[in-house]
Amino acid sequence: MRMRLVLLLVAGSILSVLVVGVVTSRHAQIPPNSSVKNVPLSVSCAGPTFCAAVDDQGRATTFNGTSWAAPTLLHVPSMTTVDCPGVSFCLAGDINGSVFVLRGHRWSRVQKVDTASAGLLNAFGMNGITAISCTSDEHFCLVGDVRGRILTYSGSGWSPPAGLLSPADYAVDRPAGLAAVVGVSCPTARFCAAATVSGRALTWNGTSWSAPQLLTSPDPAGLRGLVHLPEIVGISCASPRFCAAIHPTGYVQRFDGNTWSAPQPIDTGGVQTGNHEGLTAVSCPTPDFCMAVDDGGRALAYNGSAWASPIQVDPTLGLTDVSCPTPRFCVALDELGNAAVFDGHGWTPPQRIDA
């Protein structure tokens, strides 16, 4: 999941809103004029020879290991997020609560599975489908929405939307727009983790959801006093015994199969030097490898025991989303939808993928 902070020109003044693409994600990168379009908001890779990205014009494009294909129009509204567990299957969502399935080389027609989430804009600019995660066997997907609800896909049909939070927690979070699902991650059909904007993290055992644990982080730079941000902006699980959840303030918390750790600072320096939106996305293909990206255009890797110092990937724009199917391959999007590729050693310069 990612979200992005987009600048809009409204009645002669600039209005900042968050548009989910991923959640993750979040930034003041797009000039406030209508000429900036075709911006990929979310990317997902099944392997080094297949990725898909969806954009703000309702289009999708795929990567074959060498180049990106011409975009395919899925639907007029903006897409929000995509997940590709295999080279022949992707599931993408949009701002109207609709989904699209890629099988082979063909995208399905629009499927309206969560229309009640359409048109409901929360305080973070999130709308419609906000997060998707599918298992590698392609027979189970979990979808989260702006209303704090979860839907499941069995490979052939959809469950009705169901509230993720208890009625008591929902009553607290809903008025402030904090109930939205900001991220989901399902390494298996019997284990998923999900987090809400307010930082409530829950796990799924194949039958029911756990009680939430509230994940919060310190804010030494006073970030939340400057920018209205979610508590959690990304979550990724490599297995039922390893998940990572990131805070925009530069902290990470890990799940060990039972509990979440205390917040660990991994990228707070960028916030303190003027990066007002910090960490934006994380992807963990194995318990021994994660890649996180930030609003300063930097990426930092986890090796199973420690996080490396951030390295510059994009010198001019922030990074908004990242997908790593293996420790030797990642794709990251910047704030204009350019893509940079990690080969296990270093990053390529960002290149335009959606003209």
Instruction: Determine contact, residues 234/245, Cβ cutoff 8 Å.
Output: yes
How high is the pLDDT of residue 250? 93
Judged against a pLDDT cut of 60, whether residue 190 lies above it is answered with yes
Q: Which of 68-107 are b and which e, b meaning 16 or more Cβ less than 10 Å from the residue's Cβ?
A: beebbebbebbbbbbbbbbbebbbbbbbbbbbbbbeeeeb
Instruction: Determine contact, residues 294/278, Cβ cutoff 8 Å.
Output: yes
How high is the pLDDT of residue 221? 67
pLDDT tens for residues 298-348? 999 999 999 999 999 999 999 999 999 999 999 999 999 999 999 999 999
How high is the pLDDT of residue 325? 98
Instruction: Determine contact, residues 290/244, Cβ cutoff 8 Å.
Output: yes
Q: Give kind and range of the element (H or E) at residue 225.
A: helix 223-226
pLDDT tens for residues 79-119? 999 999 999 899 999 999 999 999 988 999 999 999 999 98
Residue 339 and residue 239: Cα distance in Å, rounded?
Answer: 27
With vertex at residue 351, the alpha carbon angle to CA 249 and CA 285, rounded to the nearest 5 degrees, is 55
CATH number of 2-342: 2.130.10.10
Instruction: Determine contact, residues 194/180, Cβ cutoff 8 Å.
Output: no
